[in-house]
Structure 1
């Protein structure tokens, strides 16, 4: 038999790497929100109210379980008395 069942095929490592990077970015963003919130001495409920969202939504975002939209990031930045800085930077060159 030369045919393989599609369920037995392994997904490519590129798909795994992309999913890992997305999860990593969500966790880093959540950590930044948490760090700034605690620096300001705000509870999740207080920040959520300032940003026009619910406390459970903020909790999911801080834990990396939610990916915010750009408008939400803008509201969060204002609620955190911070600037929102979204940039595109070239990848670092691999060391030779």
Structure 2
């Protein structure tokens, strides 16, 4: 798959990219490790920065 400008092969935009959300690398790392649960606005910013759709599903317990 060809890479988009500003997006390395890993799929994560470079911090210098204007589309990068107001989220620190440390916060992204904690989200990836499962150490914190991101808020919906943070997930929306990350999805926008990755040019991805965010789909949220609520299920009854």
Aligned with 1:64 (options 27, 34, 39)? 34
Instruction: Tell me how far 1:51 sits from its aligned partner.
Output: 1.6
Partner of residue 43 from structure 2, selected from 52, 56, 73: 73
* TM-score, normalization by structure 2: 0.65
* 1:51 equivalenced with 2:21 (yes/no): yes
Equivalent pairs, count = 51
Taking CA–CA contacts closer than 8 Å with sequence separation of 6 or more, which of the two structures ends up with the larger relative contact order? Answer: 2
More helix by share: 1
Output one character per residue of 1:43-89: Cα deviation in whole Å (capped at 9) or x when no partner: 6x63xx80211111111111110100011111011011101100124
Unaligned runs of 5+ in 2: 1-8
Give the 4+ runs in structure 1 shifted more than 3 A.
Answer: none
- Residue 17 (structure 1) aligns with: none
